[in-house]
């Protein structure tokens, strides 16, 4: 991937995601949202069929497939936009790629059984994210010796393991996992030290759009009212070294990055 910032638009085909759960649960509304994102300058569409918010419940493989595959197939009928599948399940990875997905966004960073081997065989891009514990337990008293170094060392180990198992280094992106097993202080410390992760020499994905770490700063409990603050944080993330911005608001992010590119000294 190039170093020019890319916009990854979030398309959750779930009834329970924290920001847009239920909004695009039907195939028709999901396709309309995808078309809108394309019109607004999206570079990658990230499709998810299982919520990973705190305390989210796992869904079956069949249920996840029934949510995401029809949407991937439909998008492929009118666009060749890169499609990311937000999953950690090898069977979902395979079916998604066979139907047109070009990237795997794995919140477990390939730690689930057969995940790395599957990604290597599929020869697609992959994003490896840091998460302490799992969605059901990740926000129960997260602890680190040094959050920046601990997350750095985890991502270093996971990227090295992926390469040893046949994944091309040029296909790897990393994600520090804001909100995934981190306190507010952990999140803010990671954000301020995002440039530290450039040492790993991989594209850096940042996903903070409308998350509670933004809400906590502006004292806003409603995710839908965190749009402006999220946009500002996303632009700061680009200045701090982010290569991919994962967002619910593609048009605003596109315009914000354009302003940054034109006016930043």
Contact by Cβ (8 Å): 116, 106: no
Total tally of structural domains belonging to the chain: 1
Q: Which is nearest to 249 in space by CA: 197, 214, 221?
A: 214
Structure-block tokens of residue 43:
């570079």
Asked if residue 218 belongs to a domain, the reply is: no
pLDDT in tens, 238-251: 999 999 999 999 99
Return all residues near 217 (Cβ < 8 A) that are at least 6 apart. 229
Active-site position among 6, 67, 226, 246: 246
Asked if residue 213 belongs to a domain, the reply is: no
What is the reported pLDDT for 20?
A: 46
Asked if residue 243 belongs to a domain, the reply is: no
pLDDT in tens, 111-155: 999 999 999 999 999 999 999 877 767 677 788 999 999 999 999
* Residue 3 reports pLDDT greater than 70: no
Asked if residue 89 belongs to a domain, the reply is: yes
> Known catalytic residue: 246?
yes
Active-site position among 211, 219, 226, 258: 211
Structure-block tokens of residue 121:
């065989």
Asked if residue 210 belongs to a domain, the reply is: no
Range of the domain at 157: 6-205
Asked if residue 153 belongs to a domain, the reply is: yes
**What CATH number should be reported for the domain holding residue 177?**
3.20.20.20
């Amino acid at each position: 991937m190039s170093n020019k910032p890319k916009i990854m638009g979030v398309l959750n085909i779930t009834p329970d995601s924290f920001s847009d759960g239920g909004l695009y649960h039907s195939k028709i509304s999901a396709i309309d949202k995808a078309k809108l994102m394309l019109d607004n300058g999206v570079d990658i569409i990230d499709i998810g069929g299982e919520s990973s918010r705190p305390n989210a419940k796992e869904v079956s493989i069949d249920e996840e497939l029934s949510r995401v595959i029809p949407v991937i197939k439909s998008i492929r009928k009118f666009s060749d936009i890169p499609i990311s599948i937000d999953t950690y399940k090898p069977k979902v990875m395979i079916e998604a790629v066979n139907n047109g997905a070009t990237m795997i966004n794995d919140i477990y960073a390939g730690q689930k059984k057969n995940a790395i081997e599957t990604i290597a065989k599929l020869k697609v891009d992959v994003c490896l994210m840091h998460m302490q514990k799992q969605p059901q337990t990740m926000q129960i008293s997260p602890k680190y010796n040094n959050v920046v170094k601990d997350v750095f060392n985890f991502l270093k180990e996971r990227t090295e393991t992926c390469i040893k198992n046949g994944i091309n280094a040029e296909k790897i992106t990393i994600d520090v996992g804001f909100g995934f097993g981190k306190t507010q202080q952990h999140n803010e410390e990671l954000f301020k030290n995002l440039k530290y992760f450039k040492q790993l020499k991989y594209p850096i994905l940042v996903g903070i759009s409308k998350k509670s770490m933004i809400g906590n700063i502006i004292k806003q409990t409603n995710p839908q009212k965190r749009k402006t603050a999220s946009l500002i944080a996303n632009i700061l993330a680009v200045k701090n070294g982010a290569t991919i911005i994962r967002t619910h608001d593609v048009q605003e992010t596109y315009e914000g990055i354009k302003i940054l590119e034109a006016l930043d000294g």
